[in-house]
Structures are given as C-alpha cells and as structure tokens.
Structure 1
Amino acid sequence: MLTLEFKADFSPEQQAKIEQWLEINRSLWNVGLAALEGWDDFYGYYIKENKEYAKCCPVPYEYRPLKEEEIATITQQERTSGQKYLAPFCRILSEQSRWHVKKMPTYKVPTPTEKKDSWGWLPSSHNEDRKYSNCTGYSCPIPRYGSVQNPSWYEPVIRNPSYKGSGGLSLVSKTENLPQWMKNSDIPQRFRAGEMGQLDTAWQEYLKSRYGQSEVKRGKPQYKRKGDKLQTLINTNPGTSEKLVSKNILAGIPKLGAVRCKGLDKRWRNPDGSVPRIATYKICKRPDAYYIQLSGELQRSFSVKTTNASVGIDPGLQYELSLSDGTRIKPQKFYRKSEERRTKLQQKLAKKLTERLILWVHHPTRTIQEIRKNFFSISNENYEALRTSKTEAEMIKAIGASRFNTLKYNIIPDAPPKLKDKNPFSGANQKSLEKTIRKLDRKISLQRRNHDQKITTMIVRNYGFIAVEDGLQDEKLRKRTKPKERENGQGYEQTGAKRKSGLSKSLADASPGRKIALLKQKSEKAGRIFNQHPAPYTTKECPVCGSMNEASYEVNDEGDRCYQCTNCGWKCDRDVNSGINIELAQFGNNPHAVLSENAIRARFANSVWEISNPEVTKKPRWKKLDKNKKKR
C-alpha cells in the first residue's frame, strides 16, 4: 500500500464546498465526541477479567442533606457557590456506594476498603419484599436532563464505542441523527464517515491508555473550537467512479466531480501501464494550495544495482550523515536559513495583535466584568492601570506578561468602523501575515522532505548492507529544560535553556528520525539488509584497541574534529570513526558483506595491534559482538 500526494486545481466553487464541509466535519467531531462521553458515562467501568464494559444502573435517586462530617469536606469555593448542601442518595444501594455517583462535588473520596466492599451489588434475598435490602453495589445515577427535584433519563446515542459494529459511531454520521442545520448540507456521507473513523481511532487509543493496555499515554480527544480549523477530508471507502481519466484528471469525487491533479497520469500507474484502484484518499487544505493524497496497491519499481557493499552511518548535526567510507553529507539547515525572515514576520504579527489589544482595551463599552467573566480575575486598581496603558510595556506592568498574552491572543474585536486599509480590526493584514508564515513553514517542510528522499535513495541504491546509529531521533533530546529555583528563593539557576533550545532546533532541522525511517522503508522494498545499532560508545571507542577515553580530538582547518587514539595511534575523523564501529559491529563477521576501505583498514590495524601486544586482553566491542554472534 503506497500513498502519493498530488497538487489539485480545484475551482472556486469546489473550494467553497470543501470549506463548508470542513466546518461541518468539525461540528460532527464534537457531536461524535459528546456521544462517546455519553456512552462512557452510561457504561461506567471496565472489567479486566471479563474484558468487557459493565452497564451502569440508571436507577432513580433522591437527594439527602449532608452530615456534619461531610459538610466539613466541602471547599470554601463550594460553600460560596450558593448550592444547597445535598448529596445524591439511592435507597436500594448501601451507603458505601454513594461515592460512585459521578460529577458530583459533594461526596468524599472513597477509601480502598470502601472501594473493595462496594464492587458489584448483590441482593441478600430473592424475596420481593426484601429484594433491595442490604445491597451494596455500583450505580451511576446521572441526571441527563431535568431538575434536581425531577430528574429524567435517556439512553446514550451509541451502544458501542467503536465505529465498526452495530450501535457504533456510524450512527452519529447518519443523516437522520444529525442536527437540522447539518441535514440541510450536501456533504457526502463518506466524508462524514471518514471523520468518525478518525475520532474512533483517537478514542480507542485513549481507552487503551486508560486501562493500561498500551505503554503510550494518550489523553482524551478534545473538542474542536471554532478557531481549530480542520484541514483534511477523508474518504476511506471510495467507489469505482473515483478513478483516473485522461489528461491528469481525477473524476468521480462525490458532489465535487472532476479535478485536475498535477502529475497524476505519470505517477499513478503500475510499471505495466495499468491504473491501480484507489483504496482511500484525502483532500488536504494547505497554506499554499489544495492537495489530494491517494492510497492504493501501487506497484512501484525501485531500481537498485546488485552490490554487497556495506556501510555504517552516523547521524549528526555538524554533518547530517557520516558514512564509514568517508562520505559526509553537509546539513542544509532549511529552518536556520529562513529563521531570520520568519522571526521578522512573527514580530510584525505580534505588533499587529498588540495594536488591536490596545484599541480593544480603550473601547468605551469595555467593562471590568467582561474581563472577569471571559478571561481572568482582576482588581479595580489593575483594571484602571490597564485602561490608561498605551504601550505594551505599560500593559505588562499593569497586569503581568502572562495575562497580557491571554488577552492578546484570545480577544474578539468589536464591530469595526467602515475602513478598509487602516482598520486594525479588519484582520486583513493579520490574516495576510499568518498566511505568509504558514506558507514559509510549508516551504521549509517540503524542502526538508525532498532532501531526505534524495539522500536516502542514494544510500539504498549504492549499498547492500546498511547499518545506522539508533538514538539521535529520541524525542527526549528535544525536551525543554525545567527551571531550577535557587536555594535562597531569589531567581533561578542557569540551566542552559538557551543552548538546549538551539540544540532542539538543529535536531528538528536535521530530521534524523525521518531519515532512519526512510532508509528502513526503502531497504525493505529494495531487498537490502538494514540494521539499527545502539548509540552508546560508538564515537569515543577505538576500533583497533578498544580503548574508550584514551583519545585526543584535533580540529583541522575545515572545522572537523579528528579522532586520534593515544594508546595505539589510530587516526580518523570522529564521525567516520563512529560509522566504522557500527559497520564492523553489524557486518564484520558477515561473509557476504564487502566492508568499506576504512573498516578493512581498522580491521587490519586491529590484527597488527593484537600480534604486537599479545599481553593485552582488551578488545574492541565489535570483536566481542562477533564472538557472541558465532556462539548463537
């Protein structure tokens, strides 16, 4: 299964439809997520032994006054909220089960004993008169609609949290279950189903994480706000009408018809000239243009020459890739080259947002209650200082940098006067700057992806045995440093956060993880041998004598660091030395692999060293790994 992306030339009418459908799918995501949360409330707990969900009992309940010891547990905020000191209470359940009632802030946290005792409710007698006496159990009496005095109930919209199967998320996307304004839209059912499929995937990953079935921690899917614009329409079940016709035209898209895609005739074909069937496709809105991603059983020939040459690869920052045969690929630094321009654009955008905020604050209808209700609590003193502020520095002095940014990025401007160019509320300049920044980011991404594709293809075509250092793509290397407060409580210690930020940018710009993934993917496709080698000790170990910390590093005129072992005299470029260690460790004992000249030189030097120093028992790690492989 391959996925190819094509630039699509949609007409203005088609683009308007896509925009409308994206907005409908955003609302549909929220409707589906609400249905999943309703299901999660109704089917309240998961029994690991049975591997199934247990249904909560929608039993009627009433409210009772809280006891004195329970009132003491209420927070001061709840005391001043005006609510009555009442707790939900069900007569057919024991007192130990009251903590199970969800979304009620007035019950105490259960102890482990209470939790154990209240698991599974069993009647003590089958006598009808005493049917519900002395019961303990799990109940989830959540009032869906109605008042405290007269609660009402409803069944959840779905009975299955998965998209597939009866009673699943597919019910949400059907026309008869949608709100009226969605029913009047012409969005095809397949695009709605594709969005529900995305939500299903996110929810299933969240459930696996919640019940300890996955090592990766996933949070609950979030509702999409109005500002969270969707960028993709997905069709996971296209029909036979959606196919390639002549002159780069993809025909049969529901309610859109045909669209011209650049390079479709040439790229979406098998080697024998046949056109594969489209399994799934996506319509993607990007800052620069619209794209269509087609997925299908596409047979693509990957021409490689027959070779048994082996190579060890060391990813880095000074050089993106250092190969054991001496080849080194300099970093292109696409982000770094555009960083200055991007910074200036962001500064202009920030200035526009600050000007907009100043006008918003000085609007005659502005009130302190509006800020308190929509943003944060503020004193009368600070509010007056904010109203008199005319610059960014004065605003920060009045309310602080954090609150200033909260207002700056979250305010909704008032109705603007009828001006065109000089109106800060019109948003034309702001949207133009935002679009320019997004286009620049897109250009950087495409440049980096194109570069990675080229160099990985070159390596796979020229080498039959490929080994690469594993570890530089670890996300932990790009994490921000945590601030460390000084012992006297005044200020913070220097943690090298600025240097760490620069390192993280360089790592992201070098994209070692994508290069390794592409090498693995293309090696499997071309029938090459691909191995990943653990990172520790590859750079500082001598491949001849095995010494670790007995080396000096000299910097030549080009700024490259040269590795020179003070124990045996081995001399090599530092990054190339790492590639040699990797190549020898992975393919040094493989009779089919043809080692590089540097690896052969290191292996010969090791033999000479062992003959001239028979009393030395220490050996390089690649030789120990060879022995372990022989034993196996």
Structure 2
Amino acid sequence: MIILEFKAKGTKSQYSSIDEAIRTVKFIRNSCIRLWLDNKGTGKSDLSKYSKILAREFSFANELNSTARQAASERAWSSIARFYDNCKKKVPGKKGFPKFHKRGRSVEYKKSGWKLSPDKKSITFTDKKGIGKLKLKGTWDLWRFDKKKINRVRIVRRADGYYVQFCVAVDIKEDLNSTGRTIGLDVGLKEFYTDSDGHSEPNPRFYHKGEKRLKFCQRRVSRKKKGSSNRKKAVNRLGRQHLKISRQREEHAKRLARCVVRSNDLVAYEDLRVKNLVKNHCLAKSINDAGWYQFRKWLEHFGTKFSRITVAVNPAYTSQNCSNCGEVVKKSLSTRTHVCECGCELDRDHNAAINIRNRAISTTGHVGTWILDPNASGDLTSTLLDSGLVEQVGSLNEESPRL
C-alpha cells in the first residue's frame, strides 16, 4: 500500500466547498463520539448506522458522499478502539481517551464520490458539496496504476494549500543483492547518529535554524487584532514556516534511512521511548527537533521494502558497557569518551553503536544464515523473551514507488 500526493489547484469557491466538506466530516465524527459517550456498548456498526441518521436529519450532512460519511464514523471508531487497546495493554500514563475535534484538516472518500480524468491529471468530486473538478499538480506516475487499485482518495488542507492523496493497493517490494554487512546505530543530539563503523552523521537541527524566523512570525501574529484578516494572514505565514521545518525533518530522516537500509543486511537501532524522553524539559526541544521517531519509522518501512532485517534493541547499558570486554564503565552524559581498563578507548556513541549491533546479532544469529534464506524479509526478525529486543512495529508505506 502506497500513498501518492498531488497539489490540488482550483478556485476560491472550490476551496470554500472543501472547507465545508471538512467541517461536515468533523461534525459527523464528533457526533459519533457523543453517541458512544451517551450509550454504553456502542460498536463500530452502530456508528456507521448513525452516520446515515445524521444525513437524514441534517441537509449539509446529506450533501456529503455516503462513503465519506462512513469514513468519518470510522475515524471516530479508530480513536475509540485505540483507547480500548491501550486500556487492555495497560499502557502507562494517559490512555488516549477519545476527544472532540476542534479543527478538521481532511475529508476522505472511498470507491465512490470521485472520478479521475482519462489522463489522470485532474479529479472531479461528484457529491453535492460543489467541489467539482480539481487539477492535480505533481510528479508521481498515477497513470501507471489501475483505477481499481485506488482504495481511498483524501483531500488534505495544509498551510500552503490543498492536497489530494491516493491510497493505492500495490506491492512495492524490491530485491537487492546482499552486502554481508551489519550495522548498529546510536542516535544522539550532538550527532544525528553514530554507526558501529565509527561514521557520524551531523544533526541538521532544522528547528534551531528556523527558530529566529518562527519567533518573528509569532510576534506578527500576536500584534494583529483577533478576528481580523491580517491576523489570519499572519497565522498562515507562521503555519507555512512550521510546515517547512517539518518537511525538512521528514525528508532528512527518509533519505538517511533509505541509504542505511540499502547498504546493510541487518540494521540495529535503539528502542527509544521518545514520549518519555521529552518529559525532560531541558532536552525536549532538541529531542523533538532531532526526529528520532521519523527515522525509526522509515528504517522499518525500507527494511520491509528491500527485504532487510531491522531490529529494535533495548538501549539499557549500551553506553555504559565496554564493547570490547563487556565490563561496566559508568560515565555521566558529559563524558564523551569511553575508556576501559582493557585498553579500549572509543567515542561514547561509537561504543554504544557496537553494543547495539552485537546485541542484535546475538539474538537473531549471524546475518549470513539469513542471507541464505531467499524467503526471508524484514518482517521476519524474531523476538525472544529476555533477549533485549522488542517487537517491530508495522511499516508505513508513504512514499513514491521511485524511492
């Protein structure tokens, strides 16, 4: 499954119709959440039926395509199901109780409510919201895919305009020649990551570099009168700046992850709980700016795509243990060099990366045994009890087939 995204070009009246459709989706979702709160035992089918009732009661809801209303009720149920799962798993802290959305950003259609042009350079939405025909601006080869493989179409509103996303059911796995190499990665704040070979990738710090511009845009917002058109323009400029930084961070993580996975048969990395790490108010901004979660997400995605093994390793004592003799050498965060009595002297992050790689290999076995198995893939990494490894999360296919 891949997602192809195009910039949507239309008129102001069309954009207003899209905004109205998004508000309708928000209304249906919030109404379904209210039904669940007021009626114990409400299930997914009940929410789907309730979306039909809302269409009969409210004319603006009836104007939206039936599949879009179903998708809105499914959004409500997904938040409820996630809350139930967190309660069953006894996730520490907040369980993610379903909340009402104040702002909506997208509307999703299934198999109906839209029609592609023969050249697939424009799309027409056929419901009664009046969105009409939108031109598609982008470089992805949508014409290569059969229309039957497009499961969903989504219109997304961002600070710099509107986008149309196509969810295409295709397999994008590629077979690469084995390299016979294994690598361990230790992410950090000084360097983005240091691998077990001693190579360090610099941390770009996109938020830190753009913070001066963000502060300027924020001051412009605070000086404008609330409710004025000038304030809306200032808010939009601020949103564009935040969007630029987030895109830079995502693209950086994607390119590095692709390069690392293609160059190695096994990639080991730390199983960091970023949600817990950012509770440290002294380092929260730097940790969020580094984008460790995005990097891990793309590592796992490309591991599945290129049939490589990606392993999440328990980070406990990877910095304290000596990679040569295994002895514990206690050190503070300010100590950047690992020095052991056995004569091993390495950079702190390099020593941790070697420990991460060794811990992964000790559990999965020598990578050569995996290379001999033609049916092996990135999803076959085993997870054993007390092995220091954790189960991999599912990959997200959010990139072009060209990558």
The answer to whether TM tops 0.5 is yes
* Distance in 2, Cα, partners of 1:438 & 1:553: 35
Asked if structure 2 preserves the Cα contact closer than 8 Å seen for 1:26 and 1:229, the reply is yes
CA contact (8 A) 2:4 2:140 kept: no
- Verify: 1:326 aligned to 2:102, yes or no: no
In structure 2, what is the equivalent of residue 464 of structure 1?
265
The CA deviation at 1:434 is 1.1
Q: 1:541 aligns with which of 282, 305, 321?
A: 321
Cα distance, 1:247 vs. partner? 5.4
- Supply the distance in 2 between the matched residues of 1:552 and 1:39 (Cα, whole angstroms): 54
Matched to 2:228, the amino acid is: G
Change (3 A) 1:549 1:180: closer
State the match for 1:316 in structure 2: 188
Q: Deviations over 1:383-417 (max 9, x none)?
A: xxxxxxxxxxxxxxxxxxxxxxxxxxxxxxxxxxx
1:260 aligns with 2:142: no
Q: Distance in 1 between matches of 2:31 and 2:324?
A: 65
For 2:307, give the aligned amino acid: G
Change (3 A) 1:20 1:342: same
In the alignment, structure 1 segments of 5+ residues that lack a partner are 41-52, 54-160, 353-423, 480-499, 556-560, 595-624, 626-632
For 2:399, the equivalent position in structure 1 comes to none
Distance across 1 between alignment mates of 2:142 and 2:274:
34
Query: 2:210 aligned with 1:338, yes or no?
Result: yes
Say if 1:550 and 1:33 are closer, same or farther in 2 by CA, change over 3 A.
closer
User: Which one of the candidate residues 577, 596, 604 is aligned to 2:351?
Assistant: 577
Q: Deviations over 1:51-84 (max 9, x none)?
A: xx5xxxxxxxxxxxxxxxxxxxxxxxxxxxxxxx
Deviations 1:451-505 (A, max 9, x none): 111000000111111111222x4311112xxxxxxxxxxxxxxxxxxxx434111
Report the counterpart of residue 63 of structure 1 in structure 2: none
Q: Deviations over 1:157-176 (max 9, x none)?
A: xxxx2232xxx223332267
Please provide the CA RMSD for this pair: 3.1
Aligned counterpart in structure 1 of residue 103 of structure 2, from 217, 229, 237:
229
Give the Cα separation in 2 of the matches to 1:285 and 1:195.
16
Establish whether residue 441 from structure 1 lines up as the match of residue 242 from structure 2.
Answer: yes
Instruction: Using the TM superposition, give the Cα deviation of residue 528 of structure 1 relative to its aligned residue in structure 2, in angstroms.
Output: 0.9
Is residue 529 of structure 1 aligned with residue 293 of structure 2?
no
Aligned AA for 2:119? S
Give the aligned length.
366
In structure 2, the partner of 1:14 is 14
Determine whether 1:163 maps to 2:36: no
Does residue 518 (structure 1) correspond to residue 334 (structure 2)? The answer is no
Distance 2:286 2:263 in 1: 28
Q: How does 1:342-353 map to 2 (within 5 A)?
A: 342-352=214-224
Aligned residue type for 1:592: G
Q: Which residue pairs with 1:429 in the alignment?
A: 230
Structure 2 equivalent of residue 3 of structure 1: 3
Counterpart in 2 of 1:278? 150
Task: Provide the rounded CA distance (Å) in 2 between the counterparts of 1:554 and 1:24.
Answer: 53
The match for 1:141 is: none
Change over 3 Å in CA distance of 1:214–1:577 after alignment to 2? closer
Pairing 1:351-370 to 2, within 5 Å after superposition: 351-352=223-224
**Corresponding position of 1:306:** 178
Contact 1:465-1:593 within 8 A present in 2 as well: no
Letter in 2 for 1:197: E
Deviation (angstroms), 1:532: 1.5
Same amino acid, percent of matched pairs: 24
Q: Deviations over 1:230-288 (max 9, x none)?
A: 111012x3139644631533355545444222236525635xxx566211121110011
Correspondent of 2:72 among 168, 192, 195: 195
Corresponding residue of 1:64: none
1:592 aligns with: 368
8 Å contact 2:194–2:349 — kept in the other structure? Answer: yes
* Aligned residues of 2:174 and 2:307 also touching (Cα < 8 A): no
Q: Among residues 105, 109, 118, which one is paired with 1:245 in the alignment? A: 118
CA distance in 2, matches of 1:292, 1:554: 47
Quote the Cα distance in structure 2 between the aligned partners of 1:264 and 1:249.
13
d(CA) in 1 for partners of 2:82, 2:212: 39
State the Cα deviation string for residues 102-128 of structure 1 (Å, max 9, x = none). Answer: xxxxxxxxxxxxxxxxxxxxxxxxxxx
**What is the aligned partner in structure 1 of residue 377 from structure 2?**
none
How far apart in 2 are the matches of 1:548 and 1:501?
29
Q: CA deviation at 1:17?
A: 1.0
Match of 1:562 in 2: 337
> Kindly tell me: are residues 348 and 501 of structure 1, through their superposed partners in 2, closer, same or farther at Cα, counting changes over 3 Å?
farther
CA contact (8 A) 1:249 1:264 kept: no
> SS of the counterpart of 2:186?
strand
1:450 aligned partner: 251
CA spacing shift, 1:429–1:502, aligned 2, 3 Å? farther
8 Å CA contact 2:111, 2:152 repeated in 1: yes
Deviation at 1:11, TM superposition (A): 2.9
Deviates further, 502-511 or 215-224: 215-224
Asked if 2 retains the 8 angstrom alpha-carbon contact of 1:268 and 1:276, the reply is: no
Tell me if structure 1 keeps the 8 A contact 2:115–2:124.
yes
Q: Secondary structure at the match of 2:325?
A: coil
What is the identity, as a one-letter code, of the residue corresponding to 2:192?
E
Deviations along 1:187-211, one digit per CA (max 9) or x if unpaired, are: 22222222111112223444556xx
2:194·2:201 contact (CA, 8 Å) conserved in 1?
Answer: yes
**Correspondence 1:174 to 2:52:** yes
Contact 2:184–2:353 (8 Å) recurs in 1: yes
Change (3 A) 1:204 1:591: closer
For CA contacts below 8 A with separation 6 or more, give which structure has more relative contact order: 2
Question: What's the CA shift string for 1:532-591, capped at 9, x where partnerless?
Answer: 111112112222222222789999xxxxx43332x1211222211111122223226616
Measured at CA, do residues 330 and 275 of structure 1 come closer, stay the same or move farther in structure 2, by a change above 3 Å? farther
Change (3 A) 1:434 1:186: same
Whichever residue aligns with residue 286 of structure 2, its letter is S
SS at match of 2:88: coil
Q: 1:193 to 1:553 in 2, by over 3 A?
A: closer
Rg bigger for which structure?
1
Letter in 2 for 1:24: T
Change (3 A) 1:425 1:520: closer
> Which letter does structure 1 place at the counterpart of 2:151?
A
Q: Is the 8 A contact 2:268 2:310 kept in 1?
A: yes
Q: Residues of 2 paired with 1:446 and 1:299: CA distance?
A: 25
Residue 501 of structure 1 aligns to a residue in which SS?
A: coil
SS at 2:149 equivalent = coil
Gaps of 5+ in 2: 371-386, 388-403
